[in-house]
């Protein structure tokens, strides 16, 4: 192929030179070029290496179906492999390189693999699982683990960057009356028809210019027509999206679009996303997605310099590049003739080779006028040449097969084997395309949804028919009647041909060049029993991955049909799947990455905590203070100091993240009485009560305190991570089981900033912060008492005397915006007394000492009895779970029960998650497990909580091993009561 | 007296950010607003809706998906049996004396963060996150929707000045970051 840039013609802007690099060398093109057209104009011929055999590949097409010029774009953290050079708009600074080759695509050491091609047939990779013959006959895949690495290294495509993606991506939702996909003559006319009837229309085009095949025409009148249509669209208010691919169609008129925002920009704004992922919901959809020209399978049909006929016309008329000087154009249909005459007019020597012998006289006359030689009754048999095509050996029909014929020299071999309508998007909706024998292609089936196809995507081959088809499609989509033009449009019918080979010959004729799938691979798959097209696809990789059947689908099916002795409709086609073209993972993720992967919930005290030295940790979606390290302290130093301080003086802990649910209404107490295991019907106003709620199956669901604020108003608290689950369950109960109860619930978790203040000096500190210090006296606020309060500074709030740490403790809630002022106030009284701020780690140590349960213990497998709280299950009332908790299996005395755990050697430690086993019997699942552990400042050694069969009384005097084989090994432990510190609760009630 | 600290207080900054050529989006936090919930039992709908309208200072309570403006704020129907009254800072909202047998009133102030979103690209920006048709024909002034923003339940309404969002307070910073980062491409003006 000896391509050259023409001095005039095309849509490129010759006044705007564009500099780019290819494999490290600098090249120039023009604004309006693609990477492929610029490289072609620069004389580059080998742009890729094939997937398996490392065969040299050049430009095969001018669009999304490209299977040869597959390259890597960008550098460093912006590397994007497997990009199609035919789709990449050229811009200043674009960097592209070859892939799957060493040292480069022009001279690739890996090409030696081609010599062993017969060993890499269909299913080669799967066959390696069976072992390397003869060494592993019948013994499996021992060596495979080693040579798998070699196979993976030798095969494949480009390499993605291992660095984080530096770009941002947006998700966007859009709505419209009609979505039109494709802006060829059909799409433009469909959009205009709908818009002129007042419809809100979105027109989507994957190219950077509107027009589809109108862009590839040489007739100036076509450009005038295109410009007028675009003006009319804009006047009619059509929302036009170029550089946007509709990659999938989904339920209820939903389409997925990918908009490339800055992929063509040299220095994009750092605020602009690279791409936008659109979800469009349309009342109707018109698919004017065009058709792709097919090639023919013949020997070496993948050589650089073998290209589709229409692509050559695109390079000539759109990009001003004459792709060859001595061109042979092999066809079986009329569409290639216009390409031939235009190429000849541009100065090339052109020979048309047509399989058909009945080409019309007008056609032949036009060729003669254009100086194009025409040979009929011939097909390409073999492309000649190495890294570029130098000629073509032809064949003619001989009985039911082929016989070798003459050889023609050429530097460009164009092929047109017919056209395949792009039915992929409709296929996403489950509509199976139907084979049309006259047009030799699959045509779209009717769809039960309001999705209408138009243009060449429905088998119209003439521009005027496509335009009329677009108008009709829009009308049909709007519920009107419309006549569509007759299908086809060629003077002489197509004569189908899919493969040309001599009888018995073994050659490399490619069906799907992108995956190095040959005709022999298809036949081998059939021979090995893969008779379903879906199995064929998976076994050979034909039409998989980014190709999605664009290039070789029909040829593969034809070969399969031939092998099975059936016709193509009987074989059927595979189902095309989204995405139509590849989508960057970043676009799927959008902005939901890094810290935005999940919403981070911040307490009203978040910033205050950070300013006071907090290290945060995750608690569900919340960020909570983990510990407050002082200078030089480790986490262990910090939490032990904090827990010690709470026991000795006092500490403040942010508990704002606890779930808080307002329960209101005349039946609120009855509702709570049914939800909790213990009695709530008679809870007095101004009192709080600890409650446990079960699931229907009798297992513990959540726990917390509920405060009665007035006769009809309660404030329920839940665990931090259980809040959502509890809220949903309560709402379900009210809406489906007890709709007669006059109760409303509402999450007020975000409304309140809450702290727990614990320790012997707590009452003094709180009193000092109150407008009325007497509010929190022991008489005025006894244990489990609740009050409305006013702190100094006029901060109104609620206080409850509740303890999770086992110390004298209170929880104070104020409206969230007053959280920081409250903390300033409390801290000003706490710090001078030697008090501290404490985080979850210290809170954990304090509660483990007391044997108080959290989510680690209430893990969904635990009954209220297992947790040692069975006395809280009322026997005088019914409550959620009260029946099923009585199942015999849940009442067995040897069920694992909550216990405390000490190391026998008090200097030792053990891990959470360790199994508790009978000493000397460290097998299986053991007798129990450790749920939590900590250093106990109060006891001076390591302690833990866990479950063990029968509870602590069953293990008195018996040796138990905490076994942790993958981390720490075995530690001998004692099983004790879970109430390891202040078991009578004297400090809490003090 | 103590000074309240709004959820976005640490992040708020006035000025234009991102695309300098075209200020396409304005974002403004409205602090210190009041928020009352009126919930009815269904069979006392008339009584509760009348009380909600009285407290809001408007003639009637709105239908689902709509709000009415009253002397004391805007009253929006957020659920079939619930209304929210949003009142600006300093508004003296009358005490509700709704009896429990008619419904429940809940003070929800400071549970939400109120954002106003304006500018030519406000609709586009919101559609980065909200799966709602916000075209004027569908979501005109006076419309309310409960929807989801990055899996978080939010409330959106449109008045003559633009869009308003109520974000749960604990998620407000996270959602603000997403919104403001995305808005910079259109030219973000923070008020």
Determine the distance in angstroms separating the CA of B110 from the nearest CA of chain A, rounded to an integer.
5
**SS3 at position A257:** strand
Closest residue of B to A593, CA-based? B178
What residues 765-794 of chain A have any CB closer than 8 A to a CB of chain B? 791, 793-794
Taking the Cβ of residue B169 and every Cβ of chain A, the question of whether any pair is shorter than 8 Å is answered with yes
Taking the Cβ of residue B39 and every Cβ of chain A, the question of whether any pair is shorter than 8 Å is answered with yes
What distance in Å separates the CA atoms of residue A708 and residue A546, rounded to the nearest whole number?
62
* Mean per-residue pLDDT, B33-56: 97
Taking the Cβ of residue B177 and every Cβ of chain A, the question of whether any pair is shorter than 8 Å is answered with yes
What is the reported pLDDT for A1? 65
Determine the distance in angstroms separating the CA of A636 from the nearest CA of chain B, rounded to an integer.
29
Using alpha carbons, list the distances in angstroms from residue A80 to A77, A328, A516.
Answer: 9, 35, 21
A264-311 tens-digit pLDDT: 999 999 999 999 999 999 999 999 999 999 999 999 999 999 999 999
What is the reported pLDDT for A683? 97
Split at pLDDT 50, 70, 90, the class of A141 is: low
Q: Per CATH, which fold does A1-158 belong to?
A: Ubiquitin-like (UB roll) (3.10.20)
Split at pLDDT 50, 70, 90, the class of A139 is: low
What is the reported pLDDT for A152? 76
Return left, alpha or beta for A543; rule: phi > 0 is left, psi -120 to 50 is alpha, else beta. Answer: left
Average pLDDT, chain A: 95
B137-149 tens-digit pLDDT: 999 999 999 999 9
Taking the Cβ of residue A95 and every Cβ of chain B, the question of whether any pair is shorter than 8 Å is answered with no
B10: chain A residues, CB-CB within 8 Å: 607
What is the reported pLDDT for A134? 72
Q: Which of A602, A750, A817 sits opposite B6 (nearest CB)?
A: A817
| Contacts for A823-828: CB closer than 8 Å, 24+ residues apart | A823/A605, A823/A608, A823/A652, A823/A755, A824/A608, A825/A769, A825/A791, A825/A792, A825/A793, A825/A795, A825/B2, A826/A652, A826/A755, A826/A757, A826/A765, A826/A766, A826/A769, A827/A612, A827/A652
Q: A666 and B18 in contact by Cβ < 8 A?
A: no
Q: B10 and A173 in contact by Cβ < 8 A?
A: no
Is residue A457 classed exposed, middle or buried when 0-12, 13-18 and 19+ CB atoms within 10 A define those classes? Answer: buried
Q: Which of A591, A622, A746 sits opposite B106 (nearest CB)?
A: A746
Taking the Cβ of residue A283 and every Cβ of chain B, the question of whether any pair is shorter than 8 Å is answered with no
Count other C-beta atoms under 10 Å from residue B101's C-beta: 13
Q: Is the pLDDT of residue B188 over 70?
A: yes
Taking the Cβ of residue B69 and every Cβ of chain A, the question of whether any pair is shorter than 8 Å is answered with no
What distance in Å separates the CA atoms of residue A365 and residue A343, rounded to the nearest whole number?
16
What is the reported pLDDT for A501? 95
Mutate to test the interface with A, among B104, B145, B168, B184 (most CBs of A within 10 A): B104
**CATH of region A295-417:** 3.50.50.60
What is the reported pLDDT for A140? 64
Closest among A806, A669, A664, A680 to A746, alpha carbons compared: A664
What distance in Å separates the CA atoms of residue A452 and residue A283, rounded to the nearest whole number?
12
Q: Is the pLDDT of residue A131 over 80?
A: no
Determine the distance in angstroms separating the CA of B104 from the nearest CA of chain A, rounded to an integer.
6
What is the reported pLDDT for B11? 86
Q: At the top level of CATH, which class does the domain A671-750 belong to?
A: alpha beta
Which neighbouring-strand residues pair with A393?
A382, A407
What is the reported pLDDT for A132? 67
Mutate to test the interface with A, among B1, B5, B121 (most CBs of A within 10 A): B5
Taking the Cβ of residue A720 and every Cβ of chain B, the question of whether any pair is shorter than 8 Å is answered with no
Q: Which of A173, A602, A664 sits opposite B104 (nearest CB)?
A: A664
Q: A664 and B39 in contact by Cβ < 8 A?
A: yes
Q: Is the pLDDT of residue A130 over 90?
A: no
* Mean per-residue pLDDT, A433-462: 95
Determine the distance in angstroms separating the CA of A285 from the nearest CA of chain B, rounded to an integer.
17
What is the reported pLDDT for A138? 64
What distance in Å separates the CA atoms of residue A417 and residue A307, rounded to the nearest whole number?
11
Using alpha carbons, list the distances in angstroms from residue A865 to A885, A898, A978.
Answer: 9, 9, 13
Split at pLDDT 50, 70, 90, the class of A67 is: very high
| Contacts for A221-224: CB closer than 8 Å, 24+ residues apart | A222/A463
What distance in Å separates the CA atoms of residue B172 and residue B152, rounded to the nearest whole number?
10
**Would you list the domain boundaries of chain A?**
1-158, 167-294+419-491, 295-417, 504-579, 671-750, 857-976
Split at pLDDT 50, 70, 90, the class of A248 is: very high
Q: A817 and B32 in contact by Cβ < 8 A?
A: yes
Q: B39 and A744 in contact by Cβ < 8 A?
A: yes
More confident of the two residues B155 and A145: B155
What is the reported pLDDT for A276? 98
Using alpha carbons, list the distances in angstroms from residue A961 to A476, A680, A904, A929.
Answer: 76, 42, 10, 10
More confident of the two residues A823 and A158: A823
Element (H, E) at A188: helix A185-196
A731-775 tens-digit pLDDT: 999 999 999 999 999 999 999 999 999 999 999 999 999 999 999
Q: A596 and B177 in contact by Cβ < 8 A?
A: yes
Do residues A569 and A432 touch, judged by C-beta distance below 8 A?
A: no
Mean pLDDT is lowest, of A310-314, A425-429, A585-589, A984-988, for: A984-988
Give the angle subtended at the CA of A443 by the CAs of A437 and A446, to the nearest 5°. 130
* Mean per-residue pLDDT, B94-103: 96
Indicate the DSSP class of residue A892: -
Do residues A650 and A846 touch, judged by C-beta distance below 8 A?
A: no
* Mean per-residue pLDDT, B34-52: 97
What distance in Å separates the CA atoms of residue B66 and residue A947, rounded to the nearest whole number?
54
What residues 575-604 of chain A have any CB closer than 8 A to a CB of chain B? 591-592, 595-596, 598-604
Closest among B117, B93, B118 to B107, alpha carbons compared: B93
Which neighbouring-strand residues pair with A622?
A601, A619
* Mean per-residue pLDDT, A773-787: 95
Domain A167-294+419-491: which CATH number of 3.40.640.10, 3.40.50.720, 3.40.190.10, 3.50.50.60: 3.50.50.60
Closest among A80, A479, A93, A465 to A260, alpha carbons compared: A80
Q: B109 and A751 in contact by Cβ < 8 A?
A: yes
A655-692 tens-digit pLDDT: 999 999 999 999 999 999 999 999 999 999 999 999 99
Q: Which residues contact A24 (CB under 8 A, 6 or more apart)?
A: A97
Q: A596 and B178 in contact by Cβ < 8 A?
A: yes
What is the reported pLDDT for A137? 67
Taking the Cβ of residue A841 and every Cβ of chain B, the question of whether any pair is shorter than 8 Å is answered with no
Residue with tokens 């809870």: A683
Determine the distance in angstroms separating the CA of A167 from the nearest CA of chain B, rounded to an integer.
12
Q: Which of A271, A622, A750 sits opposite B169 (nearest CB)?
A: A750
Mark out the alpha helices in chain B (DSSP H runs): 45-56, 122-127, 172-183
Do residues A754 and A715 touch, judged by C-beta distance below 8 A?
A: no
What distance in Å separates the CA atoms of residue A436 and residue A430, rounded to the nearest whole number?
19
Taking the Cβ of residue A2 and every Cβ of chain B, the question of whether any pair is shorter than 8 Å is answered with no
What domains can be seen in chain B, in order of their start residue? 15-31+111-190 (3.30.1360.120), 34-107 (3.30.70)
Which neighbouring-strand residues pair with A936?
A941
Domain A857-976: which CATH number of 3.30.465.10, 3.40.50.10580, 3.20.20.80, 2.40.30.110: 2.40.30.110
Q: A748 and B41 in contact by Cβ < 8 A?
A: no
Kindly state the tokens that stand for A530. 């893969």
Count other C-beta atoms under 10 Å from residue A437's C-beta: 10
What is the architecture of the domain spanning A504-579?
Orthogonal Bundle (1.10)
A476-533 tens-digit pLDDT: 999 999 999 999 999 999 999 999 999 888 889 999 998 899 999 999 999 999 888 8
What is the reported pLDDT for A552? 84
* Mean per-residue pLDDT, A954-977: 93
A587-599 tens-digit pLDDT: 999 999 999 999 9
Do residues A866 and A896 touch, judged by C-beta distance below 8 A?
A: yes
Taking the Cβ of residue B133 and every Cβ of chain A, the question of whether any pair is shorter than 8 Å is answered with yes
One fold for both A1-158 and A671-750? no
Q: Which residues contact A484 (CB under 8 A, 6 or more apart)?
A: A458, A468, A469, A472, A473
Q: B171 and A601 in contact by Cβ < 8 A?
A: yes
Taking the Cβ of residue B93 and every Cβ of chain A, the question of whether any pair is shorter than 8 Å is answered with no
């Amino acid at each position: 192929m000896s391509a050259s840039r023409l001095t005039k013609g095309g849509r490129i802007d010759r006044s705007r030179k564009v500099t780019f690099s290819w494999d490290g060398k600098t090249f120039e093109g023009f604004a309006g070029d693609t990477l492929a057209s610029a490289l072609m104009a620069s004389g580059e011929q080998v742009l890729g290496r094939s997937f398996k055999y490392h065969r040299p590949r050049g430009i095969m097409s001018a669009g999304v179906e490209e299977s040869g010029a597959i390259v890597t774009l960008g550098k460093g953290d912006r590397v994007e492999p497997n990009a199609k050079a035919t789709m990449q708009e050229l811009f200043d600074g674009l960097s592209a390189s070859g892939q799957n080759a060493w040292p480069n695509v022009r001279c690739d050491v890996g090409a030696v693999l081609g010599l062993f091609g017969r060993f890499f047939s269909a299913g080669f990779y799967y066959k390696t699982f069976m072992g390397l013959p003869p060494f592993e006959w019948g013994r499996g895949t021992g060596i495979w683990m080693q040579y798998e690495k070699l196979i993976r290294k030798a095969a494949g495509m480009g390499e993605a960057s291992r660095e984080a993606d530096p770009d941002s991506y947006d998700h966007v939702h859009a709505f419209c009356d009609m979505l039109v996909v494709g802006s060829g003559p059909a799409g433009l006319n469909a959009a205009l028809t709908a818009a002129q009837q007042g419809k809100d229309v979105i027109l989507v085009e994957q190219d950077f210019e509107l027009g589809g095949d109108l862009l590839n025409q040489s007739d100036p009148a076509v450009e005038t027509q295109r410009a007028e249509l675009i003006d009319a669209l804009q006047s009619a208010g059509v929302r036009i999206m170029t550089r946007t691919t509709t990659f999938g169609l989904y339920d209820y008129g939903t389409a997925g679009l990918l908009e490339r925002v800055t992929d063509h920009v040299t220095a994009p704004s750092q605020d602009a996303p690279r791409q936008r992922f659109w979800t469009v919901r349309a009342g109707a959809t018109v698919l004017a997605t065009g058709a792709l020209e097919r090639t023919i399978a013949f020997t070496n049909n993948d050589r650089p310099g073998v290209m589709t006929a229409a692509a050559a016309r695109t390079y000539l008329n759109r990009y001003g590049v004459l792709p060859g000087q001595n061109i042979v154009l092999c066809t079986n249909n009329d569409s290639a003739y216009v390409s031939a005459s235009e190429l000849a007019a541009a100065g090339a020597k052109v020979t048309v080779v047509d399989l058909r012998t009945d080409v019309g006289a007008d056609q032949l006359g036009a060729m003669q006028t254009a100086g194009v030689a025409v040979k009929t009754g011939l097909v390409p048999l073999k492309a000649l040449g190495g890294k570029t095509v130098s000629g073509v050996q032809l064949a003619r029909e001989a009985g039911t097969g082929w016989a070798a014929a003459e050889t023609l020299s050429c530097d460009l071999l164009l092929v047109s084997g017919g056209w395949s309508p792009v039915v992929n998007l409709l296929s996403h909706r489950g509509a199976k395309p139907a084979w049309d024998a006259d047009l030799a292609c699959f045509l779209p089936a009717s769809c039960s949804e309001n999705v209408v196809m138009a243009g060449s995507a429905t088998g119209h081959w003439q521009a005027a028919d496509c335009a009329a088809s677009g108008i009709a499609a829009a009308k049909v989509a709007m519920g009107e009647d419309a006549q569509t033009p007759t299908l086809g449009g060629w003077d002489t019918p197509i004569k189908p041909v899919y493969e040309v080979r001599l009888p018995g010959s073994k050659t490399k004729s490619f069906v799907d060049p992108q995956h190095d799938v040959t005709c022999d691979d298809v036949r081998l798959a059939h021979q090995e029993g893969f008779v379903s097209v879906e199995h064929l696809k998976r076994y050979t990789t034909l039409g998989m991955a980014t190709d999605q059947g664009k290039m070789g689908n029909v040829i593969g099916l034809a070969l399969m049909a031939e092998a099975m002795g059936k016709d193509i409709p009987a074989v059927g086609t595979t189902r095309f799947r989204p995405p139509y073209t590849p989508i960057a993972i970043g676009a799927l993720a959008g902005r939901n990455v890094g810290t935005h992967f999940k919403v981070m919930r911040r307490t009203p005290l978040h910033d205050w905590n950070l300013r006071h030295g907090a290290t945060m940790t995750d608690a569900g979606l919340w960020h909570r203070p983990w510990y407050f390290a002082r200078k030089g302290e480790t986490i262990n130093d910090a939490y032990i100091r904090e827990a010690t301080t709470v026991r000795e003086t006092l500490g403040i802990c942010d508990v704002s993240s606890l779930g808080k649910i307002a329960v209101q209404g005349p039946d609120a107490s009855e509702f709570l009485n049914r939800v909790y295991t213990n009695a709530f019907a008679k809870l007095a106003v101004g009192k709080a009560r600890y409650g446990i709620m079960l699931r229907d199956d009798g297992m513990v669901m959540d726990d917390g305190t509920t405060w009665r604020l007035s006769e009809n108003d309660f404030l329920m608290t839940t665990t931090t991570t259980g809040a959502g689950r509890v809220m949903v369950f309560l709402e379900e109960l009210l809406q489906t089981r007890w709709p007669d109860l006059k109760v409303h619930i509402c999450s007020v978790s975000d409304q309140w900033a809450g702290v727990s203040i614990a320790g012997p000096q707590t009452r003094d500190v709180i009193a000092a912060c109150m407008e009325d210090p007497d509010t929190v006296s022991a008489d005025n606020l006894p244990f489990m008492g609740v009050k409305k309060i006013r702190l100094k500074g006029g901060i109104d709030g609620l206080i409850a005397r509740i303890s999770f740490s086992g110390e004298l403790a209170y929880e104070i809630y104020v409206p969230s915006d007053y959280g920081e002022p409250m903390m300033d106030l409390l801290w000003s009284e706490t710090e001078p007394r030697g008090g501290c701020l404490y985080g979850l780690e210290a809170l954990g140590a304090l509660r483990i000492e007391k044997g108080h349960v959290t989510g680690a213990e209430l893990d969904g497998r635990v009954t209220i009895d297992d947790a040692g709280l069975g006395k809280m299950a009322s026997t005088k009332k019914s409550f959620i779970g009260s029946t099923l908790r009585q199942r015999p299996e849940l009442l067995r005395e040897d069920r694992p029960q909550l216990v405390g755990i000490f190391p026998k050697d008090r200097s030792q430690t053990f891990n959470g998650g360790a199994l508790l086993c009978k000493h000397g019997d460290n097998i299986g699942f053991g007798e129990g497990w450790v749920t939590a552990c900590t250093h106990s400042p109060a006891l001076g050694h390591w302690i833990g909580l866990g479950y063990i069969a029968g509870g602590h009384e069953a293990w008195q005097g018996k040796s138990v091993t905490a076994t942790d084989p993958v981390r720490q090994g075995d530690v001998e432990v004692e099983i004790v009561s879970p109430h390891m510190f202040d078991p009578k609760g004297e400090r809490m009630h003090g | 007296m103590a000074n309240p600290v709004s959820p976005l207080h640490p992040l708020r900054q006035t000025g234009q950010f991102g695309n300098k050529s075209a200020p396409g989006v304005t974002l403004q936090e409205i602090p210190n607003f009041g928020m009352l919930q009126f919930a009815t039992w269904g069979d006392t709908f008339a009584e509760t809706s009348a009380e909600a309208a009285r407290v809001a200072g408007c003639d009637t309570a709105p239908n689902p998906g709509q709000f009415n403006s009253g002397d004391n704020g805007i009253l929006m129907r957020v659920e079939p049996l619930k209304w929210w009254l949003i009142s600006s800072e300093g508004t003296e909202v009358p005490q509700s004396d709704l009896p429990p047998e008619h419904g429940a009133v809940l003070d929800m102030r400071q549970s939400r963060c109120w954002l106003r979103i304006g500018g030519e690209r406000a609709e586009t920006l919101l559609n980065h996150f909200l799966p709602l048709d916000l075209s004027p024909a569908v979501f005109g002034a006076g419309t309310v929707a409960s929807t989801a923003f990055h899996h978080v339940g939010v409330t959106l309404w449109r008045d003559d000045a633009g869009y308003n969002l109520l974000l749960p307070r604990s998620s407000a910073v996270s959602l603000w970051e997403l919104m403001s980062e995305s808005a910079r491409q259109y030219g973000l003006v923070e008020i």
